[in-house]
Structure 1
Amino acid sequence: MTDLATRRGLETDVYQPAEDSELLADAACSRLPSGGDGGDEDRPLVLEVGTGSGYVAARVAEETEARVIASDLNPHAVGQAADAGLEAVRADLVSPFADGAFDAVLFNPPYLPTDPDNEWDDWMERALSGGEDGRAVVDPFLERVGRVLAPEGVVYLLVSSLAGVEEIVDRAGEEGFSAAAVADESFPFETLTVLELFR
């Protein structure tokens, strides 16, 4: 009983799948290559940054031929992803990964604009809060992700109209990426868009 109670407590510290998760998973699964007929060396290598529960990474691993690495700064999320059978790594964005390692990087970042006086005092707040403009995590990600992409690699980035899609596309351009919207879904207070970023 203690184990179940503890596990339920941890779930409150981990972002669970929602509409944004499903939109990113659908877009990635429909666009990622299926891989070659050879061994593991022919399989695309995919990184999901900020995996949360591991939902998106698990969908990609199940529905494509990709080998998927799930990463998160939140140790509870890493534990939940590992419990789901994923290769899970605790990481701050892309910092521990090798140059040019990934054929694709997926990210559903924290994007809700938040008052600068708000303290990021728990893991769920960190999973949701995008800073004053909603881009406090997106901008550093865009600065760093190019380093870990293979030459033909792509990024699938979920963005919200609350964080300014045009501003994010412009920022991606400053980092050498072209952007195309490959999926979107509208809700009463925001539109979610999956951007494919490529060089």
Structure 2
Amino acid sequence: MKLSDRRDIETDVYQPAEDSRLLADAVCDRLEADTDDLVLEVGTGSGYVAGRIADETPARVIASDLNPHAVRQARGDGVETVRADLVSPFADDAFAAVAFNPPYLPTDPENEWDDWMERALSGGEDGRAVIDPFLEAVPRVLAPDGAVYLLVSSLTGVDEVVERAGEAGFSAGAVADHSFPFETLTVLELFR
């Protein structure tokens, strides 16, 4: 890897943090140990969550990200990765599970920088600028008995996300959470 590529990864790709570990733990715990189903991780960033799922379950995992630097890093770490906006290129009913750690931090539009790291973090004014389109799009690629694992923050409004998921045809339940002094992170399991 060239030095310039490493610099791009360090500044342009979301690296694993507490939210990544919480989502990976929850998905690995919830997937059936004997399933070899197809799982999608949307917005893979470094590929950490997809890599954990692939390593700790028998599922075949595909990851996607809009960020070309993230795709390069995840592929370099052995994760099967596609450059994509949310779920757009994938077939109908293809995935038994979909995991997503979306950009969820509420951000004042006047303070956005319009770079890859900002896109990985900023959820728009209410924190749901990416979550809402995801909830509209994901039912198409989810198998009829599949589940979505969506990480949300108390800063984003968990109740609002649950309500929006209901409008998209999902029932929701919290399967993991972790509290910090400034927020609580929750992994929601969504199913139809």
Q: Give yes or no for TM over 0.5.
A: yes
Establish whether residue 148 from structure 1 lines up as the match of residue 141 from structure 2. yes
Query: In 2, Cα distance between the equivalents of 1:181 and 1:120?
Result: 32
Structure 1 residue 168, shift from structure 2 partner: 0.2
Establish whether residue 34 from structure 1 lines up as the match of residue 38 from structure 2. no
Give TM-score scaled by structure 1 length: 0.94
Structure 1, 4-13 or 135-144: larger mean CA deviation: 4-13
Q: Is contact 1:46–1:103 with CA below 8 Å preserved after alignment?
A: yes
Cross-structure match for 1:8: 7
Query: In 2, Cα distance between the equivalents of 1:90 and 1:47?
Result: 13
1:111 alignment partner, SS class: coil
The 1:142/1:120 distance shift into structure 2, 3 A limit, reads farther
Q: Is contact 2:175–2:188 with CA below 8 Å preserved after alignment?
A: yes
2:185 alignment partner, SS class: strand
Q: What is the root-mean-square deviation of aligned Cα atoms in Å? A: 1.2
The 1:91/1:120 distance shift into structure 2, 3 A limit, reads farther
Larger radius of gyration: 1
Unpaired stretches in structure 2, ≥5 consecutive residues:
none
Q: Is contact 1:94–1:148 with CA below 8 Å preserved after alignment?
A: yes
Q: Is contact 1:51–1:72 with CA below 8 Å preserved after alignment?
A: yes
Structure 1 residue 6, shift from structure 2 partner: 3.1
* Residues 157-183 of structure 1, C-alpha deviations (whole Å, 9 max, x = no match): 000000000000000000110001000
Unpaired stretches in structure 1, ≥5 consecutive residues:
37-42
Structure 1, 4-13 or 166-175: larger mean CA deviation: 4-13
Cross-structure match for 1:19: 18
Structure 1 residue 121, shift from structure 2 partner: 1.4
* Residues 39-88 of structure 1, C-alpha deviations (whole Å, 9 max, x = no match): xxxx1100000000000000000000000001000000000000001110
Query: In 2, Cα distance between the equivalents of 1:90 and 1:59?
Result: 20
Work out which of the residue numbers 156, 159, 177 in structure 2 matches 1:163: 156
* Residues 61-117 of structure 1, C-alpha deviations (whole Å, 9 max, x = no match): 000000000100000000000000111000000000000000000000000000022
Work out which of the residue numbers 54, 63, 79 in structure 1 matches 2:47: 54
Correspondence 1:42-191 to 2 at 5 A: 43-191=36-184
- Tell me the number of residue pairs that the alignment of Structure 1 and Structure 2 aligns: 192
Give TM-score scaled by structure 2 length: 0.97
Query: In 1, Cα distance between the equivalents of 2:86 and 2:5?
Result: 27
Q: Is contact 2:8–2:69 with CA below 8 Å preserved after alignment?
A: no
* Residues 22-48 of structure 1, C-alpha deviations (whole Å, 9 max, x = no match): 000000000012235xxxxxx110000
